[in-house]
Chains A and B, each alone.
Chain A
């Protein structure tokens, strides 16, 4: 009986060349030859040594079944034939069988063991077949392949972020659990979602998250609650404004933070920030710039040496935040303005879309440097942000025209340049910006008008997207209900079963429509974004 167990182990130690013999032997339930048994015994001893260091999984099949679901590993289902009812561990090579199990298993008669093996194999085959795993050759082949640790064989599968999987109930359940753990209320979706976008969240402004929070908010720092409210009501809108407000709130959090005893600031503060970030995400999905700012802050916090005193650590962090804002936003804006002014010549007619803080800044700077140009502000519903841009430009004294986006093809023959702001620049060169930007870029391309995108480098994002559907933001659909002197035709849109209101916030513009990207590093073509990202990562 000892022998038999060793032989079974040997099935997995052998390479493919012995496979057929062993397979045949197993299927016929015959005993192995003496040489084989000796070889197997030797190899078994080797594995026992390596096995000592690793733990076995307690359950067999369940573990194996689960693993292919989560990871696309090629050979997860190595059913262990050993009588020891232990699943294959994460050992690099064959399945080791614990020596302790062998005596007990050894007591079984040899014949019935072979039968058991055959039964087990048959059962696993059936399970495997029902799961439709075509990739696996079969339980026999699996031993041939080395059972690599999951991390090695598993391809690097990037998990989809939660906010684009809203129609998946498991993801929602996981999110609910996570929020419950962090003691943050879950914001529920509102209204009928257009089917193409049913994988995104859609919230109503009339149901703020603070409804479910206690009034003196103890779980979440008051500055963060205030910020979340301002995000969800649109008081702080615009990529730069949101990042600055976020860092401001973090400064207050850090100021009010005290390290609990037996904890380290570098670890505890990061954990403290996690629920705040979840809360802000629930109020309004985070922007790419905010994401980068958060990454930076977390990195800075974790880099605080443990012997640093709390006061000094806090001072350092506050300083870091100030520096970040100064460098990445304020000075970057100055640099971009400097570059763009070179591109603005006298007599230019510049078209801008919506309200981009950076583009407004550029135009104001150019005007102060006495360039002669006029601006055409294009606006779109429902946000009508162009009105704010118009106000700021006219206040400076710039000559402005205001049109809605439906008139853009009429106005374009007059235009000499188009300046666009960006919410984020994606790694494949696509520009993510307010919905309507891609339209403007397209029409401008058709008219051969150069399109220049202005974007700071901290908005560069490692994501890749080629369409506006996969990842976007759905705003409150009630914003689309127009009131004209008392009549709101769409007021009862929810009662019409086939009607859905869609209020998209972002869209992506392909790099073919963008002629130049002006960043604080200089003027680069759209396709150089991954280079900048790579350089940035190397720097860090």
Chain B
């Protein structure tokens, strides 16, 4: 077997708590499908037959009852539950399932919506015998107004600085703005080996990683690393150029032995040698190929640890981890997957004006004289007469009474909007009730218990 797929669906959606305090992020409806359906669909389309899903018990319960998950996902899902409130990072989760990992892995996050040709990433992983291959995409501007956001969107909260080489494939440098207090410093050894480096900041990390099995084993030994994106990836990128990688000779001195033991655990993944390492080396020696020109070193500068990145220029690639991204995804995801606009079981009266880019879920009831434009309406939602819904996202089980006017808003599941309410750019939390004739603009309406304590 070549690659095992691992889907990380235990994330809490910490950047959009208004949406996720009641619904786990993995099951948030996007285009009337649960969010985790999208990466699973991507894996299924690529040809995967089994996926290990790391998630919480709540999500597992919801998965088993959700019709979309049951019907559409043909792969075998091996669900591993972890504690919800434990501080398990993604790397911790990998450590947890180390026993199940038999070969190289492809880690995907549940909030990734994309139609990338996965072979681009995996080919980098295969062809260069890389330790890490990841996917990134040019960030798209979010054009929709986000409810509840006061003022301009705060700029670049935490930029990522990504350094790639001339070909744009080899990952040389990766750091988050938060870690660079004094400024961006690049080691001279890297500059000597790769004199031309392109540093990009406008990239979105798709959180899709191909990792060698040895990395998982390394994680098992190094319990200090808890997040793939935050710690493991920068560590691997740094380790490409560390001195020890280029001197794999093990001396027999006693003191060196001790030192090697200390380093041994950290250098574990560096000893990724197949059984026929001398043959591979012979093949590389005899091959007249080099990945760089201009200096005297051999291909890959003799380094055994290599990290590659595939940067998508065009095509959708969204990580639904903020409200803005969620709204954008709702707008675009159904188009991507050619969703049927109206679910067959929805009951829609004839005098309803429905725009062509609206999506109605199962078992909805849309009454007369309603107008639904550019919106997504979830399952089992009731929309009474004379309601105008525009640019909004209505989740499941919502009741909208007569005469409401909802614009640019996000109404979470099981909310009730009283009659005559006028909501513009609001976010109505789960199970909330909006009193009739209410007029709200640009507000986040959540229950008192969900308000964050500062």
Contacts and interface: CB of A to CB of B under 8 A. Distances in A.
A213 B118 CA distance: 11
Interface in B42-74: 46-49
B265 interface: no
B47 A216 contact: yes
B247 interface: no
A229 B293 contact: no
A336 to B, nearest CB: 14
Interface residues of B, number: 35
Given A225-B2, A357-B285, A244 B296 contact: no
Contacts of B4: 216
Interface string A288-327: 0000000000000000000000000000000000000100
B127 A230 contact: yes
B3 interface: yes
B296 A236 contact: no
Nearest to A240: B286
B279 A244 contact: yes
Contacts of A229: 123, 126-127
A281 interface: no
A201 to B, nearest CB: 20
Given A226-B129, A229-B127, A217 B2 contact: yes
Contact of A387 (B106, B118, B293): B293
Interface string B286-297: 111110010010
Contact-residue size bin, chain A (C-beta under 8 Å from the other chain): 35 or more
A388 B289 contact: yes
B15 interface: no
Given A215-B122, A234-B289, A237-B287, A325 B279 contact: yes
A213 B119 CA distance: 9
A462 B168 CA distance: 44
A235 B292 CA distance: 12
Interface in A324-379: 325, 329-330, 354-357
Nearest to A247: B279
A210 interface: yes
A215 B287 contact: no
B108 to A, nearest CB: 12
B287 A238 contact: yes
A374 to B, nearest CB: 18
B28 to A, nearest CB: 26
A425 to B, nearest CB: 18
Contacts of A208: 119, 123
Nearest to B274: A252
Q: In the complex, which of the residues B274, B289, B290 has the most CB atoms of chain A within 10 Å of its own CB atom? A: B289
A225 B279 CA distance: 18
Interface in A207-235: 208, 210-211, 213-218, 222, 225-226, 229-230, 233-235
Contact of A210 (B3, B119, B275): B119
Given A215-B47, A248-B276, A210 B123 contact: yes
Nearest to A230: B127
Contacts of A216: 1-5, 47-49
A440 interface: no
A64 B67 CA distance: 62
A183 B4 CA distance: 22
A394 interface: yes
A237 B296 contact: no
A385 interface: yes
A251 B279 contact: yes
B184 interface: no
A226 B133 CA distance: 14
A247 B278 CA distance: 13
Nearest to A358: B286
A114 interface: no
B335 interface: no
A244 B286 contact: yes
A265 interface: no
B287 A241 contact: yes
A248 B279 contact: yes
A389 interface: yes
Contacts of B178: none
Interface string B1-24: 111110000000000000000000
A218 B4 CA distance: 12
Nearest to B288: A355
B117 interface: yes
A389 B288 CA distance: 8
Contacts of B285: 241, 357
A255 B283 CA distance: 19
Contact of A385 (B280, B286, B288, B296): B288
B114 to A, nearest CB: 14
B42 to A, nearest CB: 10
B284 interface: yes
Contacts of A247: 279
A391 B46 contact: no
Nearest to A234: B289
Contacts of B180: none
Nearest to B119: A210
Contact of A237 (B119, B123, B128, B288): B288
A229 B129 CA distance: 11
A215 B46 contact: yes
Contacts of B284: 236, 241
Interface in A381-433: 385, 387-389, 391, 394-395
Q: In the complex, which of the residues A215, A236, A252, A385 has the most CB atoms of chain B within 10 Å of its own CB atom? A: A215
A186 interface: no
Contact of A388 (B127, B282, B288): B288
Interface in B392-449: none
Interface in B241-284: 274-276, 279-280, 282-284
B279 A226 contact: no
A245 interface: yes
Nearest to A239: B286
Contacts of A252: 274, 276
B289 A248 contact: no
B283 A244 contact: yes
A235 B119 contact: no
Contacts of A330: 282
Nearest to A383: B288
A458 B155 CA distance: 64
A233 B283 contact: no
A248 B280 contact: yes
A325 B47 CA distance: 36
- The 6 lowest CB-CB distance pairs between A and B, nearest first, are A214-B47, A355-B288, A241-B287, A222-B2, A241-B286, A357-B286
Given A226-B127, A244-B286, A356-B288, 13 more contacts: A210-B122, A211-B117, A211-B119, A216-B1, A216-B4, A234-B289, A242-B287, A245-B283, A248-B279, A252-B276, A325-B282, A385-B288, A391-B290
20 contacts: A208-B119, A210-B122, A210-B123, A213-B47, A215-B2, A216-B5, A217-B2, A218-B1, A226-B126, A235-B289, A236-B284, A236-B289, A241-B283, A244-B286, A251-B279, A252-B276, A325-B282, A330-B282, A357-B286, A395-B296
Interface of B: 1-5, 46-49, 106, 117-119, 122-123, 126-129, 274-276, 279-280, 282-290, 293, 296
